């Protein structure tokens, strides 16, 4: 089964609750991550991903997260071009997560 390019926040929330083995890769800047982040996410700013790509697993889904979904979409496309076929963009980013899943999360 082909892995979709994008995932909605509700589907990510469902998959986390059932214990799916996925990696959340937050590609925002450290100052953004300090404001708010989805629990358990790994912070590697977008410009640092190429230098750390070997640290990422190829055997599980990697959900790429940013503020609104633009940077993460670029990183998802780049990862897929490097053979990470299980990279998935989080549609709407942490902003959608805060607004639709975790109302206690800070928005910026």
Cα–Cα distance measured from residue 28 to residue 81, given in angstroms and rounded to the nearest whole number: 20
- pLDDT for position 1: 66
For 108, other C-beta atoms within 10 Å of its C-beta total 10
- pTM of the predicted protein model: 0.96
Domain 6-100 belongs to what topology? Oxidized Rhodanese; domain 1 (3.40.250)
**Could you list the active site residues?**
66
Quote the mean pLDDT of the chain: 96
pLDDT in tens, 26-35: 999 999 999 9
Boundaries of every domain in the chain:
6-100
């Amino acid at each position: 089964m082909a892995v979709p390019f994008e995932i909605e926040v509700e589907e990510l929330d469902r998959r986390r609750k059932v214990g799916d083995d996925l990696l959340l890769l937050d590609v925002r800047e450290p100052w953004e991550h300090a404001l708010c982040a989805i629990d358990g996410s790994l912070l590697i700013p977008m410009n640092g991903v190429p230098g750390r790509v070997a640290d990422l697993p190829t055997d599980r889904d990697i959900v790429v997260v940013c503020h609104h979904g633009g940077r993460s979409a670029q990183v998802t496309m780049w990862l897929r071009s490097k053979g990470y076929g299980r990279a998935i963009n989080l549609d709407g980013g942490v902003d959608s997560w805060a607004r639709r899943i975790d109302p206690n999360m800070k928005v910026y």
